[in-house]
Structure 1
Amino acid sequence: MPLVKKDYWTFRVFDYPRFQKLILILTLIVFWFFEDYNKLTQVDFGILTVLILLFFYLLKQIIPYSPFSTKMVNSAKKDEKTTLSLLTANVYQYNKNFTKCMKLIKKQSPDVFMLVETDQAWADAMASLKTDYPHYIELPKNNTYGLLFYSKIPLKNTSINYLIDNEVPSIFTDLDLGHQMIRIYGIHPTPPVPGENTHSTERDAEILLVGKKAKAYNKPCIIMGDLNDVAWSYTTELFLKISGLGDPRIGRGMFNTFHANYPMLRWPLDHIFVSKHFKVKKLKVQPSIGSDHFPISVELVLDKSMENEQLKADQEDKIEAQEKIISGIEF
């Protein structure tokens, strides 16, 4: 189903459980090997052959998101000083366990954190953190697309954008480290699910549009938030090509952030993508805060060598990305 490049949710939703499909197919193959081969027909062997091919296809897709693959974003040495630490979390708007979230933030003490799916109640609950995080952007909403952004580092050139949907904001802002400016793009596009948005058109367009902006910026930048898309999807791969950014998960692990309540149904939906100017010191999925998502955090080090792997977009990729962006705007 995911091989069909259609935006309708029935195709795109099967991008998510790739690891689960791998395990299911492996289980079926194991059952087949307990069968009496003398009784198997050509059809049976055909089914087994297809299952084996599918297994290796899915394994190829999964391997990059494991420690057995080359890291896309290089690792920093332990003795290198952290330049920037970030944390992002989808808090689930109807989750009122504010204290659990605040305790995690105080314990981790990131330089920057962003919370999505935040209403006014969440904004009020975070007010006490403003002493430690005097630079902030608050966009509480009741439609599950509110954003709260807090920083210990001064912010400059902040803009609030409604790139695709007038009810779905995104944040662009620069962190002023004194010796260096780092641009942050905070986004939370709509997911392709029934009752929310039956197509991935708007989600894909927003992700790719921000990716193009990051590419044009061509300086240290980070895209973070709940992208409502898995790390291994076709759209995310196209995004990495268009943006030139790196995925810290590649070569390290899946770091699944959703669904917190169902251990067998988890995949990586919350992301922190970084430009070639960074190395990763630490990437971690944080403990539950009562949401259906786990928070994820990263410690980054500015890297002058800029030797990270980058996916390259060919002309066909660029045309497809532009078509998807136009479709999303017009949708």
Structure 2
Amino acid sequence: MSIPEIILAFFSILMLLPTLASLTKYDKWWIRGFDFPRIQISFLILLIISLSLVYYTFRDAWHSILVILLIGSFIYQAVKIFPYTIFAKKQVHKSKGSDPKGMISLLISNVLATNKRSDKLIAHVQTYKPDLLLTLESDQRWENELSVLEDEYIYKVKIPKDNFYGMHLYSKLKLEHIEIKYLISDEIPSIHGYLWLRNGVRVRFHCLHPKPPSPSEDDTSTNRDAELLLVGRELNAEKESVLVFGDLNDVAWSRTTKLFQKLSGLLDPRIGRGFYNTFHADYSLLRWPLDHVFHTIDFTLIKLKCLKSINSDHFPVFIKLNYDPGKKSFQERPEKANGDEKEWANEKIEDGNPQETDI
């Protein structure tokens, strides 16, 4: 074996590991971590395949075996991310919004607690004028600095925390029946309640920021998965309008997020439009979508955009939706979870030892 063959064989085997890990249901952080960089993994696999075609003679059977395995691995990764490309069918229809009273706009921003540039977020708010502003990781200092918005955003839910899981919701739209819940951990709050659109339609909403699987946060993805799946299981998307938004610390194409959609029946406006990567703002080659907005079938999309950096590790996201129940017959709901998927979801929720199951 030549040195190029040895090097290529090593990296070929290395690039097969993410796919093998993704095929398992183990929830250790280092295994579930492979769910995130599927875009980067796909490009690296293509690079290894290209180099293999240059340096392999294919006289030895293992040359062909490794290349075939790499092609299979690339196909697996590509299938996972394909729905979030412009080549896939859009899950949510585009709308110009004929009735201003039926529109709702949201700006979601993980501000990074140590970030001092609140002025950049405030500038975005002044430019895009969202109906709702949700901040994650916001502490008392952030609350104080965002107080300049309170004359315009008269409805507020404030949960300042110093543990990177503070949460603040500012709304121009009327809020009611607001509940702050700690679904899985007494360190991780979430906001639940109803808002009223200007046309008199009441919408159920849930603001989430579960803990990510990582060596510094949580050894497994169990708690994150349990929170997302619990909310997805308990939603009633067929009887009321629903919005779920926040930093979910999970990518759109993961098993958990896809199952959340199946359980909840909510739509993802990114499908067919792009990745809308929000993290990590500082590393252009290491980005994936962690901040999400899901909604019921009675909303269509007017605008979706990742905004310029506010010096956080997340880019803010702005979305504008139109309440349009007439589009229900034109938009397809996600397929429903089957028996095995529901059983797995129930097991994950139980493993998370939820403190509250009524959302």
**Structure 1 residue aligned with 2:80:** 61
Structure 1 residues 330 and 213 mapped into 2: Cα distance closer, same or farther (>3 Å)? Answer: closer
Deviations 1:256-308 (CA, angstroms, capped at 9, x unpaired): 00000000000000000111111111111111001000011111011213132
User: Which of 327, 332, 342 pairs up with 1:309?
Assistant: 332
Deviation at 1:206, TM superposition (A): 0.4
Q: Distance in 1 between matches of 2:165 and 2:56?
A: 55
**Structure 1 residue aligned with 2:350:** 326
User: Which of 277, 295, 319 pairs up with 1:274?
Assistant: 295
Q: Distance in 2 between matches of 1:40 and 1:218?
A: 63
User: Which of 251, 264, 270 pairs up with 1:243?
Assistant: 264
Q: Distance in 2 between matches of 1:118 and 1:135?
A: 17
Q: Distance in 1 between matches of 2:56 and 2:76?
A: 26
Q: Distance in 1 between matches of 2:56 and 2:341?
A: 48
- Structure 1 contact 215–242 (Cα < 8 Å) conserved: no
In the TM superposition, 1:114-129 aligns within 5 A as: 114-129=134-149
Q: Distance in 2 between matches of 1:217 and 1:156?
A: 21
**Structure 2 residue aligned with 1:173:** 193
Q: Distance in 1 between matches of 2:185 and 2:239?
A: 26
In the TM superposition, 1:57-136 aligns within 5 A as: 57-77=76-96, 81=100, 83-136=103-156
**Structure 2 residue aligned with 1:19:** 39
Q: Distance in 2 between matches of 1:78 and 1:276?
A: 15
Residue 316 of structure 2 corresponds to residue 295 of structure 1: yes
- Structure 2 contact 244–295 (Cα < 8 Å) conserved: yes
Secondary structure of 2:22's counterpart equals coil
Q: Distance in 2 between matches of 1:240 and 1:36?
A: 43
Q: What RMSD, in angstroms, separates the aligned Cα atoms of the two structures?
A: 1.5
**Structure 1 residue aligned with 2:245:** 224
Equivalent residue letter for 1:56? I
Deviations 1:146-205 (CA, angstroms, capped at 9, x unpaired): 000000011111111010001110001211225210111001000000021101101000
Deviation at 1:241, TM superposition (A): 0.5
Equivalent residue letter for 2:117? N
Q: Distance in 2 between matches of 1:137 and 1:169?
A: 12
Pairs aligned (count) = 330
Q: What is the percent sequence identity of the aligned residues? A: 42
- Normalized against structure 2, the TM-score is what? 0.89
Deviations 1:201-232 (CA, angstroms, capped at 9, x unpaired): 01000001111232367311110000000000
- Structure 1 contact 85–299 (Cα < 8 Å) conserved: yes
Q: Distance in 1 between matches of 2:143 and 2:307?
A: 21
Of 86-95 and 53-62, deviating more is 53-62
Deviation at 1:309, TM superposition (A): 2.0
User: Which of 224, 240, 248 pairs up with 1:203?
Assistant: 224
In the TM superposition, 1:135-154 aligns within 5 A as: 135-154=155-174
- Structure 2 contact 205–243 (Cα < 8 Å) conserved: yes
Deviation at 1:40, TM superposition (A): 3.5
Equivalent residue letter for 1:45? S
Residue 282 of structure 2 corresponds to residue 258 of structure 1: no
User: Which structure 1 segments of 5+ residues have no match?
Assistant: none
Q: Distance in 2 between matches of 1:226 and 1:36?
A: 44
Deviation at 1:18, TM superposition (A): 0.2
- Structure 2 contact 56–63 (Cα < 8 Å) conserved: no
